[in-house]
Structure 1
Amino acid sequence: MKAQVFRGVNQLSYEEVPVPAIASDEVLVKVQVVGLCQSDIKKIRYPLYEPPRIFGHETAGVIAAVGDAVTNWQVGQRVVVMHHIPCMHCIYCLNENFSMCETYKNITTTAGFTPSGGGFAECVKVPGHIVRNGGLIPIPHEVSFEQASFVEPTNCCLKAVKKAQIAPGQTVLVTGAGPIGLMFIMLVKYFGARALATDLLPSRIEKALQVGADAAFDARNAELSAKVQAVTNGLGVDTTLLAVPSEKAFFQALDCTRKGGKILFFAEFPDEVEIPINPNILYRREIDLMGSYSSSYRLQALSADLVFNKRIDVEALISDHYPLQDLAAAVDRAVQPAAETYKILIYP
Structure 2
Amino acid sequence: MKAQVFRGVNQLSYEEVPIPEIGADEVLVQVRVVGLCQSDIKKICYPLYEPPRIFGHEMAGTIAAVGERVQDWQVGDRVVVLHHIPCMHCRYCLNDNFSMCEIYKTITTTAGFIPSGGGFAEYVKIPGHIVRHGGLIRIPDHVNFAQASFVEPTNCCLKAVKKAQVTPGQTVLVTGAGPIGLMLIMLVRYFGARAIATDLLPSRINKALQVGAEAAFDARSPELVKNIHACTEGFGVDTTLLAVPSDKAFFQALDCTRKGGKILFFAEFPDEVEIPLNPNILYRREIDLMGSYSSSYRVQALAADLVFNQRIDIDTLISDRYPLRELPKAVEQARNPTPDTYKILIEP
The alignment's TM-score, normalised by the length of structure 2, stands at: 1.00
- Alpha-carbon distance, 1:107 to partner: 4.0
For these two proteins, the number of residue pairs brought into alignment is 348
Matches within 5 A, 1:141-160: 141-160=141-160
Contact 2:79-2:137 within 8 A present in 1 as well: yes
- Alpha-carbon distance, 1:108 to partner: 2.1
For 1:232 and 1:23, locate their aligned partners in 2 and report how far apart those are by CA, in whole Å.
Answer: 57
Partner of 1:306: 306
% identity of equivalent residues = 81
Partner of 1:122: 122
Partner of 1:286: 286
For 1:284 and 1:137, locate their aligned partners in 2 and report how far apart those are by CA, in whole Å.
Answer: 46
Partner of 1:86: 86
Partner letter of residue 110 of structure 2?
A: T
Q: What's the Cα RMSD here?
A: 0.4
Q: Deviations over 1:221-277 (max 9, x none)?
A: 011000000010000000000000000000000000000000000000001111000
Q: Deviations over 1:89-114 (max 9, x none)?
A: 11000111000000001142000000
Partner of 1:109: 109
Contact 1:179-1:342 within 8 A present in 2 as well: yes
Partner of 2:176: 176
Gaps (5+ residues) in structure 1? none
Contact 1:107-1:117 within 8 A present in 2 as well: no
Partner of 2:47: 47
Partner of 1:21: 21
Partner letter of residue 345 of structure 1?
A: L
> Structure 1 residue 231 and structure 2 residue 231: aligned?
yes
Partner of 1:212: 212
For 1:196 and 1:257, locate their aligned partners in 2 and report how far apart those are by CA, in whole Å.
Answer: 12
What secondary structure does 1:105 align onto?
A: helix
What secondary structure does 1:222 align onto?
A: coil
Partner letter of residue 32 of structure 1?
A: R
Contact 2:107-2:127 within 8 A present in 1 as well: no
For 1:247 and 1:147, locate their aligned partners in 2 and report how far apart those are by CA, in whole Å.
Answer: 33
For 1:292 and 1:99, locate their aligned partners in 2 and report how far apart those are by CA, in whole Å.
Answer: 9
What secondary structure does 2:161 align onto?
A: helix
The alignment's TM-score, normalised by the length of structure 1, stands at: 1.00
Partner letter of residue 92 of structure 1?
A: Y
Matches within 5 A, 1:188-207: 188-207=188-207
Contact 2:150-2:307 within 8 A present in 1 as well: yes
What secondary structure does 1:339 align onto?
A: coil
Runs of 4+ in 1 over 2 A off after TM superposition: none
Matches within 5 A, 1:255-274: 255-274=255-274
For 2:104 and 2:169, locate their aligned partners in 1 and report how far apart those are by CA, in whole Å.
Answer: 35
